[in-house]
Amino acid sequence: MAGTLAAVTMFSSAPIAYTLTGPTWSQPQTPYYINAANLDLPGFSTETAVRAGADTWQQQSAAFRFVYTGLSTQTTTTNDGINLVLFRNASSGSAIATTYWWSIGSRIVDADMVFWDGAFQFFAGSSGCSGGFYIEDIAAHEFGHALGLGHSSFTSATMYPSVSACNTGNRTLDADDIAGVRALYPLQPLAPPAGLRIIP
Amino acid sequence: MPQANRVPIVVYLCCGLLASALAASAGQTTPVPLAERARGAELVVVGRVAGVRSVWQVNEFGDRLIVSIVRVAVNETLKGQASPTLDVEVEGGTIGELSLHVSDQTSFSPGDRAVFYLKRNARGALVPHLRGQGLLKLDASDRVLGSGLTLGEIRRQVAAGN
């Protein structure tokens, strides 16, 4: 994307390849919903897998988190303040899933994800996949976009733009992904307990 | 890793330039080879962006989205017959202070030069074939941004796909 900011690599001890798209969420958490209706799996399995993908980032982005709020029957996306994950019985080129995120100035205000269920078969868990994709891994990548990350050029990164069938690597963040999300949402230093004086 | 999954990885290693170009602007995708991409496109052109304006549109699924209408001054037609200027509709853009970002699309500014793999949608508007994989931005030396892929190689691949 034109607004993508390339990460600085010159002065870092470890090479980094993540990109930031600019805006970030300004509040510490935001709710999201799942429309789990799809062609491949029972709703409960789908819901669990999407949540697992979202949670991939939770341990590394302490300054912000997506909070799962419940199921939805909504089937369309727009800037309506409802962050939605849905499955669509349609294809979209070779995209497995697409994230749409909306911003006003530097603030993300809405994010929705569409899994292209008409083109690909989706699986849950970590076994049994054949020629398709695990929801958890695709969701992990898409939630990275919803956080404000662009693509990484590291093939081992969750934010690498393409993925092979049945890959389970996205659900484990690469150091580059962690560096990216921490650049967007820096970990806050712990405040000293009340009453404790800090002596320089 | 199952044997079936090794194929694309081997392809990436053998054809690193192509693979990186395939991955350059897409969302999380399964990369489509350039020749196959050209085969599926109605029109392939090289051009420079003359202007961009954004509008609200409701797509075939009922999503209300911001769409950018990218006016392209065509420098070279690699497939099909193109008029000197084309309007290409690309999801995403900015209206007022509100911006829509789309993970598998590419955004454009006036002056950008790119290869456009195009098809017509149900309304007859030109849109990128395979979404972001149908849009390859070029740098000043006619290489695809973020890869070593050259415009010359794209020309060869388009010819191979026809």
Flag whether pLDDT at B11 surpasses 60: no
Q: What's the confidence (pLDDT) of residue A7?
A: 39
The pLDDT-based confidence of A6 (bands split at 50, 70, 90) is very low
Flag whether pLDDT at B99 surpasses 80: yes
Which whole-number Å values give the CA distances from B112 to A66, A120, B46, B145, in the listed order?
Answer: 35, 33, 11, 11
Chain A CB contacts of B21 under 8 Å are none
CA distance A107 to A112: 15
Residue A138: partners with Cβ closer than 8 Å, 6 or more residues away: A53, A96, A97, A115, A122, A163, A170, B28
Query: Class of A24-181 per CATH?
Result: alpha beta
Domains assigned to chain B: 3-51+69-91+104-161 (2.40.50)
The pLDDT-based confidence of B33 (bands split at 50, 70, 90) is confident
Structure tokens at A145: 């976009």
Q: Tell me whether residues A161 and B65 touch, CB distance under 8 A.
A: no
Q: Tell me whether residues A145 and B27 touch, CB distance under 8 A.
A: yes
Least confident of A57-66, A130-139, A171-180, B145-154: A57-66
Which one of B61, B101, B102 has the shortest CB-CB distance to A103?
Answer: B101
Flag whether pLDDT at A81 surpasses 60: yes
- What interface predicted TM-score (ipTM) does this complex get? 0.87
pLDDT tens profile B67-92 = 999 999 999 999 999 999 999 999 99
Chain A CB contacts of B107 under 8 Å are 1-3
Please say whether the dihedral angle defined by the alpha carbons of residues A47, A104, A22 and B127, taken in this order, is positive or negative.
positive
- Chain A positions contacting chain B at CB under 8 Å are 1-3, 21, 23, 75-79, 88, 90, 92-105, 131, 138, 141-142, 145, 151, 153, 155, 160-167
Q: Tell me whether residues A162 and B32 touch, CB distance under 8 A.
A: no
Flag whether pLDDT at B2 surpasses 80: no
Flag whether pLDDT at A196 surpasses 80: no
Pick B145 or A59 by higher pLDDT.
B145
Secondary structure (3-state) at B36: helix
Residue B32 in contact with partner chain A when CB distance is under 8 A: yes
Which whole-number Å values give the CA distances from B138 to A4, A191, B73, in the listed order?
Answer: 16, 48, 14
Interval B141-155 mean pLDDT: 92
Flag whether pLDDT at B8 surpasses 70: no
Residues 41-60 in B contacting A (C-alpha not used; CB under 8 Å): none
> Which residue, among A135, A111, A142, A109, has the nearest Cα to A121 in the 3D structure?
A135
Q: What's the confidence (pLDDT) of residue B158?
A: 92
pLDDT tens profile B101-124 = 999 999 999 999 999 999 999 899
Which whole-number Å values give the CA distances from B31 to A86, A145, A179, B12, B76, in the listed order?
Answer: 23, 19, 26, 10, 25
| Residues B131, B104 contacting (CB under 8 angstroms) | yes
Interval A28-55 mean pLDDT: 97
Q: Where are the domains of chain A?
A: 24-181
- Measured between CA atoms, the residue of chain A closest to residue B90 is A1
CA distance B139 to B148: 10
Residue among A87, A100, A127, A135 with most chain B CBs within 10 A, to mutate: A100
Q: What's the confidence (pLDDT) of residue A43?
A: 95
Q: What's the confidence (pLDDT) of residue A189?
A: 61
Flag whether pLDDT at A1 surpasses 80: no
Least confident of A11-20, A143-152, A154-163, B132-141: A11-20
- Closest-CA distance, B82 to chain A, in angstroms, reads 22
